[in-house]
Amino acid sequence: MWQKLLIAFLLGTIFCDWVQAGSKAYDVGAAVEQAIPGTHYGENRRVALLIGNGDYGDGAFRNPIDDARSMSKVLARLGFEVMVYENATQRRMKEVILEFSQRLNAGGVGLFYFAGHGFRIGEDAWLAPVDSDSHSPGRLTATSISLKSVLASMSTPRPGKRNLIILDTCLNNPFHVGNAGSAEVPDQTLIAYATAPGSFAADGAQHGLYTAELVRALAVPGRDIMELFASVGAAVSQATDGQQIPWVSSSLSGEFSLVAARASLGAFPSAESIGREVVVAMQSRGILPKDSAYELAFWESIKDSTHASDYEAYLEAYPNGRFAALARSRIERLRASAPKGEAAPERARPAPAPEATPKQTRPAPTPATASEKPPSPPAAVAEVKDCPMCPALVGLPRGAYTMGSNSDDPSERPAHGVSISAPFAIGKYEVTVEQWNACVDAGACQRVSADLSRAANTPVRDVSWDDAQQYVVWLSKVSGKAYRLPTEAEWEYAERGGTSTRYWWGEQMRNNSANCKGCGEPWHQDGPATVGSFAANPYGLYDMNGSVWEWVSDCWHNSYKGAPSDGSSWDEHDCRVRVIRGGSWRDGPSYMLSSTRFRYDASVRYSQNGFRVARSLK
């Protein structure tokens, strides 16, 4: 008769410690030598297959490896013949499951344990090998291992047959919201899930939260198997404030205990002596939508930030993200330490995750040779200043260039010819805190919460595209000129400065050419350098690479297919997702390429986003 046990669990946060390791078996010989003596054949025999996968192609995490190793030592002490494998490919998983099935033919209890990425499509749970392909449902299931196939491998009738499946993995569906219930459980089988269908499982600092509690529970003799998993579920529920829901489906008949009442556990520690894990991350064990790499890129860029608005922006973009709980705790800590009277940051609207491949996947640029020199500046470049509080502009002539790149991010393709049909002027520098505050003082712009502590000649940031529109409207009124944001084509034309290389200074990254992380001095983690701290490009423009991301006027499109060729803004009615260009001081060298582009919702305020202005010239 089936028994189903639901126990509440907490959605936590996951920080992934990425590692590189090949598929291999873990030697548990030392633990096996201390195993409880028992019959190795027939109904009292115990065989366990444990797989810990962490080295996935889109990133890696250490905990599943440690989970499998810890479980192997415990099970060896409990009389199991233990097979342990780490970072197994699909082929390897199939091979060891077949070997496991053959070992079970002699009789007894079979225990299958998996820690790593998992997901649920339809009524079946799936386990991801390290070489799984998550680009589509068909590819993902074709390159993964179904729970049904594991159950089938353990289904052969045998003396003393009992099958135990333990899955410390997520059970979300990465392709749509709906998730079906659990599938039917075969006879004499128990399946213990770390979480309920459709949900995520949390990680601690060293182990999955579920596995850590299971190891603790296995240190207590004499409990029936259902009581054991009930205690694990209750502990996980308490640790996570009821947001993770461990789930047990069982068709076992009669009483059964993994740890006998009179078991001699030797030197095995007591439950009280085993430390409890604290939730560090929530979604690390789930196959996430393909834009999840952008979430990682987003988090990587703000994880050391001292600005609450950065974490607010992350939570709006990824409210149930891998680092959501950590982001909330950072916000609380920053607010608690803020001086009294400082305004709390406004919540931003969600920033949609770009679909293109993140820049982190690019190989790191190599240093330029000492003989490589930036190109000579072109003629017909003039400086313009329309009013005392107006940003200085540089006038640029008409011209043609090749926009984008065919060798980098897919969103930068295809490289295509653009002819700037009319001269225009663009900011010599990014709009500064002082210039922004002039608009604030006039009542036309909103004050940026942290600007009181920022130097007047640093670029204004924490501003949205909508905020930038307010500024150019005000600037147009006070100057009598029609100010606007540059179009994306104008921006790249200006940034390249007449060059066609990957960077305006050449094909290779060169230290001290841009205000970015790892790119040379001056650099500070907490904020960008003052405007003009680095050399100007051939058009006499400063900080086009690094410093802060810069809003442009265009709507976001996933590629340049169909883009205008005359330099005009590529706009659409009611467009809310806008383009930003150039990278920031918190990004690495691979973001400094002339073709780099990204996107945000037009109302998002983010501490790395700023802008420079432009206007047409007659």
Q: What is the CATH number of the domain that holds 164?
A: 3.40.50.1460
**Average of per-residue pLDDT across 73-84:** 93
Residue 71 pLDDT > 80: yes
What are phi and psi for residue 74, nearest 5 degrees?
A: -65, -45
Please report the sign of the dihedral spanned by the C-alpha atoms of residue 267, residue 271, residue 273, residue 278.
Answer: positive
> Would you say residue 605 lies in a domain?
no
Which helix (H) or strand (E) is 247 found in, with range?
strand 247-250
Nearest to 461 by CA among 344, 548, 522, 343: 548
| Res. 183 pLDDT band, cuts 50 70 90 | low
414 preceded by a cis bond (ω within 30 of 0): yes
Q: What is the pLDDT of residue 336?
A: 80
**Residues with Cβ < 8 Å from 319, sequence gap 6 or more?**
350
Residue 248, domain extent: 3-273
Nearest to 483 by CA among 437, 545, 435, 533: 435
Range from 5-9, 173-177, 430-434 that averages highest in pLDDT: 430-434
522 preceded by a cis bond (ω within 30 of 0): yes
pLDDT digits (tens, 9 = 90+) for 55-69: 886 556 778 999 999
Q: Lowest-pLDDT range, 271-275, 383-387, 420-424, 460-464?
A: 271-275
Q: How many domains does the chain have?
A: 1
**Average of per-residue pLDDT across 28-32:** 30
Q: How many CB atoms lie within 10 A of CB 525?
A: 10
> Would you say residue 328 lies in a domain?
no
Q: What is the pLDDT of residue 13?
A: 26
For helices 465-479 and 433-441, give the axis angle rounded to 10 degrees: 70
Q: Is 385 helix (H, G, I), strand (E, B) or coil?
A: coil
Give the per-residue SS3 of 169-195. CCCCCCCCCCCCCCCCCCCCEEEEECC
Is the separation of the CB atoms in 262 and 221 below 8 Å?
yes
**Average of per-residue pLDDT across 413-425:** 94
Whole-number percent of the chain with pLDDT over 90: 45
> Would you say residue 565 lies in a domain?
no
Q: How many CB atoms lie within 10 A of CB 555?
A: 18
Whole-number percent of the chain with pLDDT over 70: 75
> Would you say residue 347 lies in a domain?
no
| Res. 330 pLDDT band, cuts 50 70 90 | confident
Which helix (H) or strand (E) is 555 found in, with range?
strand 549-555
| Res. 313 pLDDT band, cuts 50 70 90 | confident
Q: Lowest-pLDDT range, 58-67, 149-158, 247-256, 373-382?
A: 373-382
Q: What is the pLDDT of residue 264?
A: 54
> Would you say residue 528 lies in a domain?
no
Q: What's the CA gap between 91 and 344, in Å, rounded?
A: 53
Nearest to 85 by CA among 68, 110, 101, 71: 68
> What strands, in cross-sheet order, belong to the sheet with 393-396?
382-384, 393-396, 424-427, 614-616, 483-484
Q: What is the pLDDT of residue 210?
A: 92
pTM: 0.49
Residue, of 338 and 464, whose pLDDT is higher: 464
Is the separation of the CB atoms in 515 and 546 below 8 Å?
yes
Residue 378 pLDDT > 70: no
Q: What's the CA gap between 5 and 7, in Å, rounded?
A: 7
| Res. 24 pLDDT band, cuts 50 70 90 | very low
Locate 557 and state its tokens: 């499109």
Is the separation of the CB atoms in 191 and 249 below 8 Å?
yes
Q: Beta partners for 166? A: 113, 192
> Would you say residue 510 lies in a domain?
no
Indicate the DSSP class of residue 46.
E
pLDDT digits (tens, 9 = 90+) for 216-245: 899 888 889 999 998 898 888 878 776 777
Per the prediction, the chain carries an average pLDDT of: 79
**Average of per-residue pLDDT across 540-554:** 96
> Would you say residue 321 lies in a domain?
no
| Res. 363 pLDDT band, cuts 50 70 90 | very low
Q: Which amino acid is at 617?
A: L
Residue 29 pLDDT > 60: no
Q: What's the CA gap between 76 and 510, in Å, rounded?
A: 55
Q: Lowest-pLDDT range, 310-319, 452-461, 543-552?
A: 310-319
Is the separation of the CB atoms in 490 and 420 below 8 Å?
yes
Q: What is the pLDDT of residue 331?
A: 86
Residue 341 pLDDT > 90: no
> Would you say residue 506 lies in a domain?
no
For β-strands 424-427 and 393-396, DSSP reports them as antiparallel
Is the separation of the CB atoms in 172 and 119 below 8 Å?
yes
Strands (E), 371-465: 382-384, 393-396, 399-403, 416-420, 424-427
